[in-house]
Structure 1
Amino acid sequence: MKLYRFLSADDTSDFCHKVTEALNKGWELYGDPTYAFDAANGVMRCGQAVVKEVDGTYDADVKLGEH
């Protein structure tokens, strides 16, 4: 099955570390990164979709962060 996650965080090195950790766990980048101003919190936010092929059958209870 193919898993999909959307990673997001404030525009700090924490975001890059989050994406780097996912890549090192076998996730692959999917599409372009996003960058937008979060007016409610007054900060820039980054986002990146990632995908991963794993064994099994999809179930809504799957814990994506554990893969």
Structure 2
Amino acid sequence: MGDEVELPRYRVLTGPDDASFCWRVSEALELGYELHGSPAVTFDGERVIVAQALIRRE
């Protein structure tokens, strides 16, 4: 038996527009996710916040 966790087919990553966010998206792509649409970008008064939807096809 493995300790594999079933991944959701859809997820949205959000966070400040920095290297950490880019690494999180890159890791999701490595897990088999694909970008779903364009990123959404906003400014919270202090920094740029990004959201990216991802899907994983079965």
Same fold, judged at TM 0.5 (above) = yes
Judging by fraction of residues, say which structure has more strand: 1
Calculate percent identity across the aligned residue pairs. Answer: 37
The alignment of Structure 1 onto Structure 2 pairs a total of residues equal to 51
Give yes or no for the alignment of 1:22 onto 2:21.
no
Alignment of 1:1-67 (within 5 A): 3-39=9-45, 42-54=46-58
Q: CA RMSD in A?
A: 1.4
Question: Scaled by the length of structure 2, what TM-score is found?
Answer: 0.78
Q: Which runs of 5+ in 1 are unaligned?
A: 55-67
Letter in 2 for 1:9: G
Question: Scaled by the length of structure 1, what TM-score is found?
Answer: 0.68
Q: Which runs of 4+ in 1 moved over 2 A?
A: none
> 1:38, 1:52 → 2: CA distance?
29
- Deviation string, structure 1 residues 5-55 (Cα, Å, up to 9, x no partner): 01011011111001000000000000001110113xx2110111000124x
